[in-house]
Structure 1
Amino acid sequence: MTDGFDILEVLEHIDPSRLDYQEWVNVGMALKEEGHTAADWDAWSQRDTGRYHPGECFRKWDSFRGTLQPVTGGTIVQMAKDQGWQPEVGHELDWDDTISDERVVVDKNWIEGQEVEEPKDWDPTSQLIKYLETLFEAGENVGYVTASWEKDGKYLPTQGNWDRTAGQLIEQLSKCGGDIGSVLGDYKPEAGAWIRFNPLDGKGCKNDNVTEYRYALVESDATDLAKQNAIIREMELPVACLVHSGKKSIHAIVRVDAANYDEYRKRVNYLYEVCKKNGLEIDTQNRNPSRLSRMPGVMRNGRKQFLIDTNIGKASWNEWYEWIESVNDDLPDPESLQGVWDNLPELAPCLIGGVLRQGHKMLIAGPSKAGKSFLLIEMCIAIAEGRPWLGWPCTQGHVMYVNLELDRASCLHRFKDVYQALGWEPRNLDNIDIWNLRGKSVPMDKLAPKLIRRAAKKDYIAIIIDPIYKVITGDENSADQMAAFCNQFDKICTELGTAVIYCHHHSKGAQGGKRSMDRASGSGVFARDPDALLDLIELDVTPELMAQQESVMVCDTCIRYLNSLFDDWEDDVSQDDMLSYVQMLNYCKKKLSAGQYSTLNSLVEAAAKKVKALTAWRIDGTLREFPKFAPVNLWFDYPAHRPDKSGVLKDIQPDAEKAPWQRGTDKIKKNAQGRKTERKKAVEEAIEGCNFGDIPTVKDVAEYLGISERTARDRIKEHGGYTYEDGKVRKKEVEEDTGKP
């Protein structure tokens, strides 16, 4: 915000094609200065189709490193005005109008001044020593100024000194016998002396020489001295040292504890804004971290510069910031249940029947290859068309799909592929909006307000974000950081009245033995925050079951093909035969011409190939608003999921859910089958290669395999495809089918 304006909204009123190159660059620098992203600059720049070059904004963005006179959001406001934009003009307040009291803790109409008293026992060196001990570590260099010069009746400081550490100064001051001038140099009593409140590197006294951005200066010449003192204390500013300037102001050295210059600048801007709202008119020239403040322990034109207090208010910047932000909250007041018992508010209508209400949140979690994105696209389509999703009825309405992972073309093709796989007519495509953000995604705390702004007038009943790992802010395993992240979904739900649906991946390792809400990767906040959690886990399908599915698919293919050619063929086939792919193929061979049968064979081969690509899945649910539903079993038949209507998946248990004895038995069976397959293959290799093409003997096979002849005979017999007679091993002959019983 600048002067009360939302910079991105102001930017909408600027035509980039009307700007020269430097003006365009200034817009980017101003956006970065105001805390926005390169994606914002890039999105706006695309409006100038003649000069826009993909990637140019992102390359230049990194070169904007800030200056002592940065380009700010005010530049953007002025550009918009130059192009004809007129900001909304304020108006005289009526009795019913409200005034924002955000971050206001001081009632300026009732604040009473708090007098500042000079110290009765004047000990200059102890004043300065206490100041140094409070603000600096012993090894940190301190900047100070005692020499000054006069201009227009004012005494101005020179650059001063910065060559000694706080420890050295404290030691020398302790031995000076009260003569500060012998340590720091004599100062003019009419001018006083100055000191810098942040440590320096010992090489200079500019901002670049500051080593720790620890403190900021709050000074106000425009407010009564007693009121300054009272307001500073009422605001509970985290003040390390409070110094009387020897004239008409108090210098508050406030803890800001910034990690770098950019953070320092933002925190000081915030500090000054809060001070101004609470009636403390700040001298904004004091923003710089290398700024001089008044040194305690010296005289200034007959008055003392002295320490009023140390370590007052909140203990740290973070503690103060959290307090000041919470003072004027917009939380509702508690209400009595008695007052609403007979007039309860209506529940939000269902979006997905028995699973999710409108305005609530849902998480879909699962491993890779589960087709989570396809599942979300299916949901988009179901809501847009008002059709069931995996058997659950969906309310029809407008939906936004936020695509963070796929390129635009792939995403659009997926929607068409899913429509076709579901066999649905695309009658309500205008109900689906897609926001393609691959390569342009930003952290969720930045994305949420941009999303809200774009969706405010669209009346969406669902916003689907796929996937969330692209926008996670902070450590995925940190509960407090993920709680703050998930709060962004609440913000979208509350401000738009829409449901927010998103997907996340499983943690590593076996998942079958875990509860559905414990499978999602990262902090447990992920699973406990949404109102509905749907979790996918893969089912281990046996070869026999897949063979059964292949049989079903072949029969269905035959039936569909016959239906396309004939009206009365079903009179020739029993219901039982329709369930046997052998009988169906035999019937088709008789019924169809050679060309038709060849076409059917191609369809059957394609169907069999499709079956081999099927994967089986189970959806478990953890719901806040509805009773738990029975697990839903489904097949992922790329690119769509279809519920298992036959019930063949119902009794399959994921490995980790099986009893230990059952897992052991299954493992033994698999190992035994594997060993049998390996022995069979070894026998084949031995028979084919042990005698250089001549008919091998049992003895040859035994020597080749390194086993006894008795074991060799057992292996040959176990194989089933060979026989031995008179010691010679031969392949069994396959008898021709004579057609006789």
Structure 2
Amino acid sequence: MALKYEGYSVSDWESWSRNDQGRYHDGECEKKWETFDGANSPVTGATITQLAKDNGWQSHGGADGDDFIGWDEGFVATDIDKGYKIVNTDYVVGQEIKEPTNWNPSQEIVDYMKTLFNAGDVIGYVNDGYPHKQGEIEKWLPNKGVYTKTAGEIIDGLRRNKGDIGAVMGDANPEIGAWIRFNPLDGKGVKNDNVVDFRYALVESDSMSLEQQNEIMHKLELPIATLTYSGSKSIHAVVKVNAANYPQYQERVDYLYKIVEKNGLKVDKQNKNPSRLTRLPGFERQGKKQFLIAKNIGKHSWEEWEEYIEDMNDNLPEMKNMSDLFDKPIVLAPELISGILRQGHKMLIAGPSKAGKSFSLIQLAIAIAEGWKWFGFNCQQGKVLYVNLELDERSAKKRFVDIYNTLGRGHNHVSNIDVWNLRGKTSPMDKLAPKLIRRAEKADYKAVIIDPIYKVLTGDENNAHDMSLFVNQFDLIATELKCSVIYAHHHSKGIQSGKSSIDRSSGSGVFARDPDAILDLIELPVEEQRYMQRVNQAICNVYDLAIKKFNPMYDEVGVDDRFSEKQMTHHLMAAMNKLPNGQQLLKQINEQRNIAVEAMRQATAWRLEGTLREFPKFKSVNAWFQYPIHVLDDTLQDIKLEEEPTAKWKKGVKKSNQSRSEKTKQELEEAFNILSEGGEPVEPKAIAEYLEIAKSTVYARIRKHEGFKIIDGLIEKSNSK
């Protein structure tokens, strides 16, 4: 009902309803649509908005609602990445307007109406008004005028009466000239509700000379139906918009006004209404003629003009000649992460589940904010935005606190970190990027970290075209904010050690080839002996610290003793036995010992490798992921991966025997079997999170495999009952 009231068509409702295949029935919408005849208290767009608010809905922009688009507002697609500057006003000298030499008022009216209207269109015109004083200035304002005649009746009347305008349209007041409404009416009134076809919009400006207005309107290639001199300080362009309904009319007029204003014409915003009056040629106004300057100029249609504007603003740089290549030194962007990433470039961290990718990103955010090292690489200090898509706000704060405390270096510059918590409020990346840019454009961030990206993934991650569009949003953020964009992605399934770091990311190769730096985490196979060594050292460290804290006078611990659990146990007992509360302290120390041992046992070893566009390849970095941070350990360098690169061809042969389709089907079945309880249906979101892919990818895989189906929004096996 609200859609119909607001001017939408039944096809709008149909296309939306088709999203629910479980309840949608072909033709049902149209039957119901015909029964919506309105009421004294109609259901409107505002009604729907209020119902949503009453049931807990909030605009995506939060409490301030700055992202909400009202039903009565126009919508303009974001132009955050476009200047839309076509005309250089510094060089606009003006294009002459020629007054007609053989003035034929009747023919002016006929030509004007035949250009804008069909013979059966009801038009509204005004040729009289009343004086209205604003301060010291007196203006003539139009009356309601005539709004029941058709264009055909007026044209025929002028011909029959041999051009006698007064006999057909009434005598005009020479002080005010005449006006006409540029869209056809229903013959019942002159308001927006009486407009029956949203064909045209009016562009009027008096911010510069008439000749300059004329030149800009021509240079913009506006799809102008009629261009009229008003008899005063402005020319009036009636522009073809050909909107299907009022909301689309608002959208197109907003876009039109935005373009002309960016190119020097300050538009009169009062002319946005489709029922607005414009000057009618063929009349005189205080001794000056209102006449047609031109008809049907510029682009042929709105669509052609819009395409022209977008093509002119493709955001591509101009081609540059290299003649001055050696004239001055080339200054590259500063290094954000020394030897890894320059400011304004993009970086991907890839790794399997449980590699601590999110923790490493938070650790990186802290390193940039504080100017510390990260995985051994120096970071340039500055502000950083961490876009948190997965954790609730308190959990995200807890991670930052835990990592800061574990690093143990204070938090002097924690104010350099901003966090945007979007769990449960995410939107696809192409919608999120403009909002992020708008909020962050004045913050001067060195880096924006987005974690995790599968939450905002659009399209099928295995589709190169879809992923190209997706990663282009990172370019948009980096370019507009002049900062680095850093994000994490998961590995494909299977053993990764035989692959290069550029080929380990899941999905399309776009992920691997788009970033300027790819850092890859791969798990190292650690033998029990190495774990025992770490446990031994952890115990020794706990005992050594306890002795220094509780009995600093005890000085019998030798340098070599600090590496022997047996010796440190002996020293601990001796030191504590000299204290009156030694036994109680031993209990506390043993609790710390057990915590340290558990931490060592739960730690996993990782190797960080990289593929860099701007820098030479670096020596691999080895670290333990010891919750909640990665701790460097050079002794891990001697560990060989499970599969040497020399065996890569063997894995390739094996892989070729299994098609991608079979592989994705097996993964889907595995996820379903694990998540389903006794064959019960599973939510797509659960499978997406288990496989670390987007929901859209889950749907795409289900469509390809006959073994699954979606019923009432849940995934079931086709043979389940």
TM-score range (shorter-chain normalised) is 0.5 to 0.7
2:417 aligned to 430, 434, 440, which one? 434
Q: 1:110 is matched with which residue? A: 93
1:565-576 alignment, distance < 5 Å: 567=556
Contact kept, 8 Å, 2:343 with 2:447, in 1: the verdict is no
Contact kept, 8 Å, 1:516 with 1:621, in 2: the verdict is yes
1:273 aligned to 246, 250, 261, which one? 261
Superposed CA offset, 1:123-181 (max 9, x none): 98786455347xxxx9xx9551257655468874536259x9xxxx89x9999996799
- Counterpart CA distance in 1 for 2:364 and 2:109 is 75
Amino acid at match of 1:445: P
1:453 aligned to 437, 442, 452, which one? 442
Q: 1:647 is matched with which residue? A: 637
Max radius of gyration: which structure?
Answer: 1
- Counterpart CA distance in 2 for 1:632 and 1:572 is 30
1:351-370 alignment, distance < 5 Å: 351-358=336-343, 360-366=345-351, 369-370=354-355
1:462-477 alignment, distance < 5 Å: 462-467=446-451, 469=453, 477=466
Amino acid at match of 2:532: S
Query: How far apart are residue 556 of structure 1 and its match?
Result: 2.9
- Counterpart CA distance in 2 for 1:522 and 1:291 is 53
Amino acid at match of 1:160: Y
2:611 aligned to 612, 615, 622, which one? 622
Query: How far apart are residue 312 of structure 1 and its match?
Result: 1.5
Percent identity over the alignment is 30
Decide whether aligned partners of structure 1 residues 511 and 256 sit closer, same or farther in structure 2, where only a CA change above 3 A counts: farther
Query: How far apart are residue 557 of structure 1 and its match?
Result: 3.9
Query: How far apart are residue 518 of structure 1 and its match?
Result: 6.5
Query: How far apart are residue 520 of structure 1 and its match?
Result: 6.2
Amino acid at match of 1:425: R
Query: How far apart are residue 660 of structure 1 and its match?
Result: 5.0
- Counterpart CA distance in 2 for 1:282 and 1:384 is 45
Query: How far apart are residue 271 of structure 1 and its match?
Result: 4.7
Contact kept, 8 Å, 1:535 with 1:621, in 2: the verdict is yes
Query: How far apart are residue 651 of structure 1 and its match?
Result: 1.4
SS at match of 2:384: strand
1:286 aligned to 239, 260, 271, which one? 271
Query: How far apart are residue 368 of structure 1 and its match?
Result: 5.2
- Counterpart CA distance in 1 for 2:238 and 2:154 is 22
2:532 aligned to 539, 547, 551, which one? 551
Superposed CA offset, 1:282-315 (max 9, x none): 555423222244678x888998976832142586
Q: Which runs of 5+ in 1 are unaligned?
A: 1-36, 43-54, 69-99, 494-498, 579-583, 666-741
Contact kept, 8 Å, 1:403 with 1:466, in 2: the verdict is yes
Query: How far apart are residue 217 of structure 1 and its match?
Result: 0.9
Q: 1:728 is matched with which residue? A: none
2:167 corresponds to 1:188: no
Contact kept, 8 Å, 2:229 with 2:293, in 1: the verdict is no
Amino acid at match of 2:323: S
Bigger relative contact order (CA 8 A; separation at least 6)? 2
Decide whether aligned partners of structure 1 residues 618 and 178 sit closer, same or farther in structure 2, where only a CA change above 3 A counts: farther
Q: 2:694 is matched with which residue? A: none
- Counterpart CA distance in 2 for 1:587 and 1:662 is 52
Query: How far apart are residue 375 of structure 1 and its match?
Result: 0.9
2:640 corresponds to 1:659: no
Q: 1:158 is matched with which residue? A: 145
SS at match of 1:646: helix
SS at match of 1:463: strand
- Counterpart CA distance in 1 for 2:145 and 2:341 is 69
SS at match of 2:373: coil
- Counterpart CA distance in 1 for 2:222 and 2:294 is 15
- Counterpart CA distance in 1 for 2:90 and 2:130 is 40
Decide whether aligned partners of structure 1 residues 480 and 599 sit closer, same or farther in structure 2, where only a CA change above 3 A counts: closer
Q: 1:91 is matched with which residue? A: none
Which deviates further from its counterpart, 643-652 or 519-528? 519-528
Q: 1:483 is matched with which residue? A: 472
- Counterpart CA distance in 2 for 1:262 and 1:522 is 40
- Counterpart CA distance in 2 for 1:664 and 1:287 is 62
Q: 1:254 is matched with which residue? A: 239
Decide whether aligned partners of structure 1 residues 39 and 155 sit closer, same or farther in structure 2, where only a CA change above 3 A counts: closer
1:311-322 alignment, distance < 5 Å: 311-313=297-299, 316-319=304-307, 321-322=309-310
Query: How far apart are residue 640 of structure 1 and its match?
Result: 0.9
Amino acid at match of 1:552: Q
Decide whether aligned partners of structure 1 residues 399 and 511 sit closer, same or farther in structure 2, where only a CA change above 3 A counts: farther
Name the Cα RMSD after superposition: 5.9
Aligned length: 535
Q: 1:397 is matched with which residue? A: 381
- Counterpart CA distance in 2 for 1:664 and 1:552 is 41
- Counterpart CA distance in 1 for 2:433 and 2:630 is 29
SS at match of 2:637: coil
Q: 1:379 is matched with which residue? A: 364
- Counterpart CA distance in 2 for 1:486 and 1:558 is 48
- Counterpart CA distance in 1 for 2:561 and 2:601 is 31
Decide whether aligned partners of structure 1 residues 306 and 468 sit closer, same or farther in structure 2, where only a CA change above 3 A counts: farther
